[in-house]
Structure 1
Amino acid sequence: MKHLGYIQLIVFVLLFWLGWQMIDRIAFREETITPLEVALQSADNNRKELEKVLCHYQKNPADSLKYKAACFLIENMPFYTYSYGEQLENYKSYYAWLKVRKGKTAQQVADSVKKVFGPMKEPQKKRDIMEIDSAYLCHNIDWAFKVWQEQPWGKNISFEIFCEYLLPYRIGDEPLAYWRETYYKKYNSLLDSLRMSGTLDKEDPLVAARYLMARLPDKKTFFTSIAPFSFGHIGPEFVQYQSGSCRELTDFAIYLFRALGIPCAIDYLPVRGDGNASHFWVMLWGKNGEGYISDFMKNLIRVRKCSLYQKEGAAKIYRNTFSANRDLHKQMAQYGEEVYSFWRIPKFEDVTSDYAYSYQKELVIPLEKQYKDERSGRIAYLCASNRDRWIPIDWTVYDASRLAFRYVRNGSVMRVATYEDGTLCFLTDPFYLDKETNFPHYYSIGKKTQDMVLYAKFNLKEENSFRNRMIGGIFTGSNRSDFSDEDTLFIIQGIPNRLNTTVKSWSDKGYRYLRYFGPPKGACNVAEVAFYEKDDTVALSGKIIGTPGCYQHDGTHEYTNVFDGKTWTSFDYSKPTGGWAGLDLGREVKVDRIVYTPRNRDNYVRPGDVYELFYCDKDWKSAGKIKATADSLVFRDIPENALLFLRNHTRGKDERIFIYENGSQLWK
């Protein structure tokens, strides 16, 4: 039994390799055998089931398009696998539990799933081409044609768009399910009034999609990137809870729209330009062919008006397709070398130009910016940053004298590499494509060095929603418990930029009662407050007082957190306005200074944790480790113009590259 896991892994690797060989046979060798026949051969004992489908649609000339649709699905079927297992389905209960979490955090719900169902066993894998039977495939094809032909907007949908973005029976690697009829019966009636309308343009898929989204009975979504297991696509049943990451929310929209005859696609960026995550969203077209997107199940917005078009710094954007991109694979296969995993079975197309607001139509890497090391790889990859790793996001032919990539969006740090023996071999230093100048800036170090003071390991812009909620917050003192005679000690007028901000009290009077009163609509978000007497290093203490009740309704974010000495806990009042937290000192005391900490995700430098700074000099090189004794770190003699990365060895995983200029960390 102890070898079972290894055997399953070997089997999966072999199946994956066979799939790769299959796509090579289907698309890239000049053989007389057709892609359909190769797919049928790979079906093994399941071939008869697939041939039943083909024979069924060949009988009637009226079903000629259905026959072509069946061929399209079967030809691409060898490239799809899915995981299955009872425990896997048990774990997916997580998404149902999130919907009724009753104040619990996503992590608490995930922990509950693990506790109830026990440890997850490695799921087994199945291949579509060997599992799909004739009944399932015919049911999918018939229902796809039904909605295409019966809906008034179907007349503006071509057969090519239908096949790629409405017909597919699955999205990715989710278990097979009869989802079309279920979704149709549940949601189609929401469009009845549109179909009967004499004023709305019911022949426009965009109008239908907007009409449908506005009338969904449950519009409440819950976003979290936390999950008890790395599921992949979870399937049509569980995405209806509209809880989870952008993947789950996007998948729900795909099932919903396609079940009602609205073709749509998943567009995605492999790596954000200023973060460590990928991102998915829904894309569909109006009857005039213009693209619109919905992000997190929100309103459909024209591509050229959305924030992803104008602001997001991701270098490349792709669109998922059901069919394998045979032309792309043929281009890369001609060089006879192992390609990076993203391109091994490419089921996507490059749509960066559709989102290209600030971009390089051709990004040329000058010869003088390339390393002198000789490389055997023929394919060069453009790589984006994910923490301290580099992720290939585009490719071109490696020609040192003419190294160029097409349609690359500005706003990201990247570098170029080949892929040899399973390892990225870098060809350049990292560089930043500047949105303002439209030119790359290379982070190449020289002999000059500088000292630096660091306050965080991750981009604090991600925490602006917390930091902004402190602007306008007031510290007051009083000698009455109802604060009817309170004096203002300090008003916060700017965003806190470090874990602990120290300010002088504006009053020289003595007070028994002290408090922090949150600004309007700030839910009194604050992590820590400490009041000090003059020349004292120990914070004042007393009975904790304040407004009870937190937004989570579970006691995890109460006012008592403000004086617990833990910067990673916080107060999140149950109401937007009116919350406060304070101390009854039991005596009158003059406050000399105040130290406050914003609500945060624990990405500031935290006293007691061990940090290590790295700078990029071809590879990441250590500048040394420091155990923090305060909320800042001082590193000396660090190369100027270096790309940097600060790792916390004690806790956490959110870390991001940055540079250091004019005494500040600038996140990239």
Structure 2
Amino acid sequence: MKKHLGYIELILIALFISVVSQIIAKIVYKEEPTSYLEVALQSAGNSRIELEKVLRYYKENSSDSLKYKAVCFLIENMPFYAYSDGEQLENYKSYYTCLKKSPKTPQQVADSVKEAYGSMKKLDKKRDILEVDSAYLCHNIDWAFKVWQEQPWGKNISFETFCEYLLPYRIGDEPLSYWRETYYEKYNSLLDSLRMSDSLDIEDPVVAANYLISKLPDKNYYYTSVTPYPFGHIGPEYVQYLSGTCREVTDFGVYLFRALGIPCAIDFVPVRSYVNAGHFWLTTWNKDGEEYMTDFPQKLRPVRKNWWYRWDDSSKVYRYTFSVNRKLYEQMAKYGEDIYPFWRLPKFMDVTYAYGYNLKKELVIPLERLYKTRQVGKIAYLCISNKERWIPVDWTEYNAGHLVFRYVRKGAFMRAATYENGTLCFVTDPFYVDKQNNEMCFSSLGEGVQDVVLYAKTNIEVEDFFRDRMIGGVFEGSNLPDFTERDTLFIIQSKPLRLNTVVKSWSDKEYRYIRYVGPPGSGCNVSEIIFYGKNDTVPLSGRIIGTPGCYQRDGTHEYTNAFDGKTWTSFDYLTADGGWTGLDLGKKMRIDRIVYAPRNRDNYVRCGDIYELYYCDKEWKSVGKMRAVSDSLLFCDIPKDALLLLRNHTRGVDERPFIYKNGVQIWK
């Protein structure tokens, strides 16, 4: 969600408010209501002639009355869509064509694009209702009906589902294009063998979706959140390069599925519970109407029942629709106050109930937990944390005696607020709902203070797969360069809890060659290794030895990284097994201590960086700054039970609030 709305968005919101207000006013005064279709046509200006031409064509010349209803559906919602246009925008999108084949990092590619084309110039803002002509609209409708009616699974797709999740000519704010026929000609033949199958249920859209994904020639996705410009939706041409964020790969799935008659929707969370970003994924339905989802983090995966969302605690889940959620808007508009931007033009619906894991049907805020100062707002918003900010993800009527949010997923840090004069005004302290005992746990300042020892600034549990890859890793010593005779110096038996773990060597012998061998399936992932002799304070040095090659095939994660003194670089071997890295000391030496660091995303406390700790007392308050002298920080006299936030002023952007209990940082 954007903090500030663009000019074109304000126009769309004002138009939407005007349209709905006209309908409501005529109902109140018992006049004949102006239809949504007529209001849309009134806003079309000179393009009204083009739109009416399409309406007449399907009303008079089509034997299929559904086509007329379909064009009405599109025109009624067309006023609320717009896009940016310009040659410079297309030039910048060349970034996506380069990512997978370039040896450069995404940031280097982005910098190259900006250098090649210069700074982004002012873009043209265009509204669909003023731009869509009769040829474009008819082409889209005819192709949508063609695939709906010709594909064997089309008989199990209702007209309502067709209109919302197969018919739309666009996803969001991408430039308009003739994409349906292009995708159909390119990908439809992949389904030829399915349509002739005797063993598969060819009348099930989910079967078709999975078969299609399995036959795609390229299913590898190059994931990066780096962009040279904040594009929004980049359009059907560029998403085919399968690179970018979850938005781009999900958009590809939408164009692909809809062009071949498979209805689908984009489900999303405004902010995830454990990272400071939203997330998008694809949803479709089988012939019985059961929902299936697929998430595309690195590869195009089959669609399955909502399997992957069990471990995410994001409080609310929404689904994008092509139609505007007028009912939702009318529910909020009756309070007569400024609405938080996310809900001003609601082209989405709440589907949290479908993701029912750890679901609380009624989240009742106890009266005694509401702040004594009564806010004037009549709408309360449920907010979840995003660094030091709070992002509204749900709303309800604000009644000081009874504040209830419905269908909220448990686990994340939340708090309630009103929205007044463009500012969130909080009415509760932060809290979370425990998934085990269902209790609400408030982070209100307790009596007394405590000392806290901190090892990270964000949830390192997200990196468990890196830490788990060290369990079973072995440090070995030998006096033969091929390690045909070797002794075990230490075996890692649990995942690291901090950046640098120090252990004693199990052997008192002397060795010339020492190494770390990753456990099976780990790619020998390790960030840094240091060996010390007895009573030494300076690390042992020597010639770096190991298995050349890295999974990225670009030299960025070679075995030498384990001894470069940088905990933010790592070794990731070419294959899952067989990797190792070590030192030739040049002479026999006894190993006394070993220090190792797991592969990581540089969110641990790093020596030399400057940190600042905050605690939440209605607003965030600073405890003070400190320069790290090791991989941990000690802050004294911190208010008990407070929600905390650790900020690195030297580098990085990933920070998450946490609580501190029993000597441990706990993220939600």
TM-score by length of 1: 0.95
Deviations 1:110-150 (A, max 9, x none): 33333333333343321111111111011101111111122
Q: How far does the alpha carbon of each residue in 1:13-59 deviate from its partner, in whole angstroms, 9 at most, with x for none?
A: 65245334344346543363221121112112222111211122122
Question: Which position in structure 2 is the counterpart of 1:95?
Answer: 96
Unaligned runs of 5+ in 2: 28-32
> In the alignment, what sits opposite 1:578?
578
In structure 2, how many angstroms separate the alpha carbons of the residues matched to 1:575 and 1:522?
Answer: 9
Equivalence for 2:440: 440
- Once the two structures are superposed, residues 574-593 of structure 1 have per-residue CA deviations (whole angstroms, 9 ceiling, x without a partner) of 23222222222223322221
Q: Which residue of 1 aligns with 2:157?
A: 157
More displaced 10-residue stretch of structure 1: 207-216 or 284-293: 207-216
Aligned residues: 657
Q: Name the CA distance, whole Å, in 2 between partners of 1:392 and 1:638.
A: 28
Distance 1:388 1:23, change over 3 A: farther
Aligned to 2:50: 49
Distance in structure 2 (CA, Å) of the matches to 1:132 and 1:504: 72
Q: Secondary structure at the match of 1:519?
A: coil
Whether the aligned pair in 2 keeps the contact of 1:645 and 1:658 (CA below 8 Å) is yes
For residue 164 of structure 1, report the CA deviation from its aligned partner.
0.8
CA deviation string 1:602-632 (max 9, x = no partner): 1000011111111111111111111101100
Partner of 1:546 in structure 2? 546
Give the direction of change, closer, same or farther, for the CA distance of 1:516–1:198 in structure 2 (3 Å limit): closer
Equivalent residue in structure 1 for 2:304, among 270, 282, 301: 301
Letter in 2 for 1:530: I
Contact between 2:23 and 2:34, CA under 8 Å: does it hold in 1? Answer: no
Residue pair 2:54, 2:138 contacting (<8 A) in 1 also: yes
Letter in 2 for 1:12: I
* Superposition map of 1:492-571 within 5 A: 492-571=492-571
More off after superposition, 29-38 vs 391-400 = 29-38
Q: 166-175 or 353-362, which moves further after superposition?
A: 353-362
Offset at 1:68?
1.4
> Does residue 397 of the first structure (1) align with residue 393 of the second (2)?
no
Which residue does 1:85 correspond to in 2?
86
Q: Which residue does the alignment assign to 2:30?
A: none
- Residue type at the aligned position of 1:47: R
Q: Is the 8 A contact 2:12 2:81 kept in 1?
A: no
The residue type paired with residue 542 of structure 2 is G
- Is the 1:22–1:78 contact (alpha carbons within 8 Å) kept by the matching residues of 2? no
RMSD between aligned residues: 1.9
1:433 shift after superposition: 1.1
The 5-angstrom pairing of residues 342-491 of structure 1 reads: 342-491=342-491
Provide the residue aligned with 1:70 in structure 2: 71
Q: More deviation in 423-432 or 263-272? A: 263-272
Question: Counterpart of 2:15?
Answer: 19
The residue type paired with residue 8 of structure 2 is F
Q: State how far apart, in whole Å, the 2-side matches of 1:19 and 1:248 are.
A: 29
Q: Distance in 2 between matches of 1:116 and 1:67?
A: 47
Give the share of equivalent positions with the same residue, in percent.
Answer: 66
* Closer/same/farther in 2, CA of residues 26 and 549 from structure 1, 3 Å limit: farther
Report the more deviating stretch, 575-584 or 319-328: 575-584
Using the TM superposition, give the Cα deviation of residue 550 of structure 1 relative to its aligned residue in structure 2, in angstroms. 2.0
Displacement of 1:359 in angstroms is 1.5
Matched, 1:106 2:106: yes
Matches within 5 A, 1:184-203: 184-203=184-203
Distance 1:262 1:662 in 2: 51
Following the alignment from structure 1 to structure 2, what is the Cα–Cα distance between the partners of residues 618 and 122? 41
User: 1:134-153 counterparts in 2 under 5 A?
Assistant: 134-153=134-153
Could you tell me how far apart the structure 1 residues matched to 2:305 and 2:23 are? Answer: 35
Deviations 1:327-368 (A, max 9, x none): 110111111111001100001111111111321211111110
Alpha-carbon offset, residue 448 of structure 1: 1.8
Q: Which whole-Å deviations, capped at 9, do the CAs of 1:141-182 have from their partners, x for residues lacking one?
A: 111111112222222222111111111000111110101111
**Segment of structure 1 superposing worse, 265-274 or 546-555:** 546-555
Q: Tell me the secondary structure at the aligned position of residue 248 of structure 1.
A: helix
Q: Counterpart of 2:451 in structure 1: which amino acid?
A: D
The one-letter amino acid paired with 2:156 is N
State how far apart, in whole Å, the 2-side matches of 1:126 and 1:22 are. 19
In 1, are the aligned partners of 2:558 and 2:570 still within 8 Å (CA)? yes
Distance 1:420 1:620, change over 3 A: same
Is 1:28–1:326's contact at 8 Å kept on the other side of the alignment?
no
Q: Provide, for residues 190-215 of structure 1, a one-character-per-residue CA deviation record: whole Å limited to 9, x for no partner.
A: 22233333443322222222222222
